[in-house]
Amino acid sequence: MRKRTSVSSALMVDPEQKYRNLSDVLEERLSQNPEHIAFDLPVRGSTGAIEGWKHVTTAEFHRQVRAVAAGLIAQGIGLGDRVALFSPTVYEWAVADCALIYAGAQVVPIYDTSSPQQVGDILADAGVVAAFAGSQGHADTLTQAGEERGLDLAIWCWESSLAYPCLADLEEAGRGLEQVQVDQRRAQLRPADIVTLVYTSGTSGAPKGVKISHLNMMGQVLNVAAAYSEIVHEQGRTVIFLPLAHVLARGLQLVCLVKGMRIAHLSNPKELISQLPHTQPTFLVVVPRVLEKVGDAVSKQAQAKHLGRVWQAAERTALAVARAQEQGVRPGRPLLFARAAYDALFFSRVRSLLGGKIEWILSGGAPLARELSLLFAGMKVPVVEGYGLTETTAPLAGNRPGAIRSGTVGLPLPGAEIRISEEGEVLARGIGVISGYTDSSWDQLAFTEDGYLRTGDLGSLDADGYLTIRGRLKDEITTAGGKSISPFTWEEAVTASPLVEHAIMIGDKRPYLVALIVPSEDGRALPQAACAQAIQKLVEDANSLVARSEQVRRFKVIELDDQDPELITPTQKLRRTALSKRFGQVIDELYAA
């Protein structure tokens, strides 16, 4: 089947026909259904454990957003001032984000796991004048990092602190300011104005400040909402537990706000499974590792009950049903009967584990294995895989309900154009694609002469325009013999195992390939010899999938702190360059062996 080199999708909604800026979009939502429940907030007891949930209506959220916006203006935040948000994923993050938009400021989100050095670099590069902090510890880090770089920051915490004013203090400061002044401020914003600076997580280099405009964000929010109306709607619910500093989670939050989808926040992902029966989401956005862990949990439960072989048969059945459905073929009665039996035994429990009301899952942030996508579809939980970058204001392509092609990241979203270069790089243009970076010297490298963004990802388009990602261009290895190798297939095969958290192939300018492998919690739970033996088998199996010149000859199992911001990005990706430097001696020993 012949492949395509370009594909595009027309806008479903042109934001400039109706809106001046993102605050107009949020204002419109209020007029539609002010008493609708917009948020579920966790109620925590004295130990910090969640004891219940309370509701916030659209009208209540809107009142608080405007009150905080008034306080910001009263405290001297000016049009275009840059204000940081340094906090875990919580409701107050949403309030501050929208209030800053209403006040005409530019939001600078910072991952709450960032090191003091990373925080300081962002503050200095962005020229931040004020910040919101998730805790006094976050506030202290901001203060110290700011002082070291000559910045005098105004800082507000979410809750009362002896050292810093809180969100309620900011609301109080704005009580004397007329709301008409808030409207006058937001009326000055135009589509091309910058709404946020988002810093990339930097897997292979220093983070870059990405300038996202009101038009970029409005275009994405409105068109994603239109394209996925079957998923995002007033009757739906979701839980956001990914970092709101990431453009994917932030974009999701705005789409849900605009469409009236109920949002619950969880700052600790480990609380997710226990709270899903209470929040009962109809839709979740996850990274592939979450789906892998759900599947592993069911497999372990089955093995504990001596039903391991039965679960394996159930998996085969789910995959067979999903493959048939994806090809437009109705599964035969025996297959459907078997699926119904396994549904009662296993699959319904998976859906219960996800809250009991789950209808859709969106997977992003990393490649999703085709078999895993098919497995969940066969269990009646279809997974919509998408693809995007910070520079495309999150989604660039995505599978659609009723047209999912597992193993691909789908079709261009409305307003997006995708082209594959002669080198195989994915190039992009469209309403979500940024105009440039805080450091304009990066712009020339990031864009082609005819205005396409260089994504840095290798990919291909099939005859129907579905995009498949095949790794990072920068990750390509050129061996000492001049052979160019993409590590994607090999690394994906190894990390598909629940025993492995990360795998990185190494061999640039070297005579052959080696690898560093980080075991998962499950892998570390095994006896050391058993873990080594299992990983050896995984390496052999992965080697069987690639050409001889692309096989790994030697590997080393290493231990990493998964909270180390110098080696792990907030989205749990390895910083390859930093890892290679830190483990340089180990790598040299693999070649000396």
What is the architecture of the domain spanning 22-189+232-276? 3-Layer(aba) Sandwich (3.40)
**Do the beta carbons of residue 258 and residue 26 sit within 8 Å?**
yes
Rounded CA gap, 265 and 334, in Å? 42
So what's the pLDDT on residue 579? Answer: 85
Cβ atoms < 10 Å from Cβ of 152:
9
Rounded CA gap, 238 and 357, in Å? 10
* CATH of the domain spanning 477-592: 3.30.300.30
Token pair recorded at residue 329: 């073929």
So what's the pLDDT on residue 209? Answer: 94
So what's the pLDDT on residue 295? Answer: 83
Q: What interhelical angle do 22-32 and 58-74 show, nearest 10? A: 140
So what's the pLDDT on residue 519? Answer: 92
Q: Would 22-189+232-276 and 288-356+359-472 be classified into the same CATH topology?
A: yes
So what's the pLDDT on residue 31? Answer: 80
So what's the pLDDT on residue 201? Answer: 67
**Residue-wise pLDDT tens for the chain (593 aa)?**
567 899 999 999 999 999 999 999 999 988 888 999 999 999 999 998 999 999 999 999 999 999 999 999 999 999 999 999 999 999 999 999 999 999 999 999 999 988 899 899 999 999 999 999 999 999 999 999 999 999 999 999 998 877 899 999 999 999 989 889 999 999 999 999 999 999 986 554 567 899 999 999 999 999 999 999 999 999 999 999 999 999 999 999 999 999 999 999 999 888 988 899 999 999 999 888 788 888 888 888 888 899 999 999 999 999 999 999 998 899 999 999 999 999 999 999 899 989 999 999 998 877 788 899 999 999 999 999 999 999 999 899 999 998 999 999 999 999 999 999 998 999 999 999 999 999 999 998 899 999 999 999 999 999 999 999 988 888 888 888 788 888 888 988 898 888 898 999 999 888 999 999 999 888 898 898 889 899 999 999 999 998 888 899 999 999 988 778 778 877 677 788 888 889 889 999 999 86
SS3 sequence of 225-284: HHHCCCCCCCCCEEEECCCCCCHHHHHHHHHHHHHCCEEEECCCHHHHHHHHHHHCCCEE
509: left (phi over 0), alpha (psi -120 to 50) or beta: left
Pick the CATH number of 288-356+359-472 from 3.40.50.1860, 3.40.50.12780, 2.130.10.10, 3.10.129.10: 3.40.50.12780
**Do the beta carbons of residue 586 and residue 558 sit within 8 Å?**
yes
Q: What interhelical angle do 370-378 and 308-326 show, nearest 10? A: 90
Please tell me whether the overall predicted TM-score, pTM, comes out greater than 0.85 for this model. Answer: yes
70-95 as b/e: b if 16+ CB within 10 A: bbbbbbebeeebbbbbbbbbbbbbbb
State the maximum Cα–Cα separation within the chain, in Å, rounded to a whole number: 73
> Any idea where the domains of the chain sit in the sequence?
22-189+232-276, 288-356+359-472, 477-592
So what's the pLDDT on residue 1? Answer: 52
